[in-house]
Amino acid sequence: ARDINLAVVAGDGIGTEVVEQGLLVLDAALAGSGTTVSTTDFDFGARRWHATGETLTDTDLDAIRTHDAILLGAIGDPSVPSGVLERGLLLKLRFALDHYVNLRPSKLFAGVTGPLANPGEIDFVVVREGTEGPYVGNGGAIRVGTPHEVANEVSVNTAFGVERVVRDAFARAAARPRKKLTLVHKHNVLVHAGHLWRRTVEAVNAEFPDVTVDYLHVDAATIFLVTNPSRFDVIVTDNLFGDILTDLAAAITGGIGLAASANINPDRTAPSMFEPVHGSAPDIAGQGKADPTATILSVALLLDHLGHVDAAARVEAAVAADLAERGGRVRSTAEVGKDLAARVAG
């Protein structure tokens, strides 16, 4: 029997609650397949930081690297200064493990009511670059706290980094029925980075001649996301624009309670990481109120990434069926997990 060696980072707030249900559904999806799951828990997050001052050590990273994949719940707590866990842990994982494809599918499932009056069909994926852009931590400040303070942030974009994520996005577009790729940037203002992205998309298009390409400035893209989201099939964009667009995309498809994401290392030189788009929601933590659906859809992405394509499809189908019947019914985190696991088991 094969085994999935899974690193589990439950994290803070509702992280623990949603991850528990994610693991339940993962087991259900693999039941009878001959593949088993063994997990290692990692205690990263606010508690560990408060206790030790550590976010993610080299030893932690070495230990993580021996796993096939990572399931992450949520990171962050108001008691920790802003940026400490985000940059010292979450982004550090994405960067150190070279998660250059941050994949975020957006689908309006039947039965889900979003904020748009006439949403139409919504089914696109955002391929957000995960290791460059303004997320590199290449900023600094002088004369901090004085009237002469200057604080800079640098967006770093490389041909190497842009090309590999653009190629991945093209491959995903080519595998979808509509075969359409939209580059989102702001090349009329961020001309250097923007032109690199633009030239790269043009160049890689030659390898995928059947993919149709268009371009939107990031500001215009937010308009289309609320006026005509059906126009999108695959979006490729940088780390910051991708962060913004995927929260908006989650909102129009029923909220971040349903939005899954995968931080993928397509070269498989390190484990990929699967996490809901939502945060740790300290306001509802520990109350069994969190919706584990986003985590469970992230488990589907995990299964797909590890080659368990059928199991992944069954998890997504279970979620779709559950959402179609969900209505206004209120269930606890554990009840949703149990119901979804039962559907997956068939």
Ligand X SMILES: CC(C)[C@H](C(=O)O)[C@@H](O)C(=O)O
Q: Which residues are annotated as a binding site for substrate?
A: 94, 104, 128, 219
CB atoms within 10 A of CB 43: 13
Strand partners for 39: 6
State both tokens at 295. 């985590």
Q: In angstroms, what is the minimal distance from the CB of 104 to ligand X? A: 8
- Cα–Cα distance for residue pair 84/310, rounded to 1 Å: 39
What does the DSSP 8-state code read for residue 88? I
Q: Which residue is nearest to ligand X (CB)?
A: 86
Q: Which residues belong to the active site?
A: 135, 186, 219, 243, 247
Roughly what angle, to the nearest 10 degrees, separates helices 309-326 and 15-30? 120
* Cβ distance to ligand X smaller for residue 152 or 188: 188
What b/e sequence results for 49-61 when a residue is b if at least 16 CB atoms lie within 10 Å of its CB, and e otherwise?
beeeeebbeeebe
Binding residue (CB under 8 A) for a second copy from 78, 139, 286, 307: 139
From ligand X, a second copy, none, which one binds at residue 230 (CB under 5 to 8 Å depending on kind)? none
- Asked if 189 is part of the footprint of a second copy (rule: CB under 8 A), the reply reads yes
Q: In angstroms, what is the minimal distance from the CB of 253 to a second copy? A: 11
- Asked if 222 is part of the footprint of a second copy (rule: CB under 8 A), the reply reads yes
Give the contact letters, 84-113, x = binds to a second copy (CB under 8 A), - = no: --xx---x---------------------x
Q: In angstroms, what is the minimal distance from the CB of 25 to a second copy? A: 26
- Asked if 175 is part of the footprint of a second copy (rule: CB under 8 A), the reply reads no
Question: Is residue 24 within 8 Å of 35, Cβ to Cβ?
Answer: no
From a second copy, ligand X, none, which one binds at residue 339 (CB under 5 to 8 Å depending on kind)? none
Question: Is residue 239 within 8 Å of 133, Cβ to Cβ?
Answer: yes
Closest CA to 186 of 134, 158, 221: 221
- Asked if 63 is part of the footprint of a second copy (rule: CB under 8 A), the reply reads no
Q: In angstroms, what is the minimal distance from the CB of 345 to ligand X? A: 30
Q: In angstroms, what is the minimal distance from the CB of 299 to ligand X? A: 17
Interaction residues for a second copy, span 259-278 (CB under 8 A): none
Closest CA to 102 of 114, 113, 94, 110: 94
Binding site for ligand X (CB under 6 A): 86, 90-91, 188-189, 219, 243, 277
- Asked if 237 is part of the footprint of a second copy (rule: CB under 8 A), the reply reads no
Q: What DSSP line would sit under 186-249, residue for residue?
A: -TTTSHHHHHHHHHHHHHHHTT-TTSEEEEEEHHHHHHHHHH-GGG-SEEEE-HHHHHHHHHHH
Can you tell me which residue has the tokens 């640098």? 154
Q: Catalog residues that contact a second copy under the rule CB under 8 A.
A: 76, 82-83, 86-87, 91, 113, 115-118, 134-135, 139-141, 143-160, 163, 186-196, 198-199, 218-220, 222-223, 226-227, 240, 243-244, 246-248, 250-252, 255-256
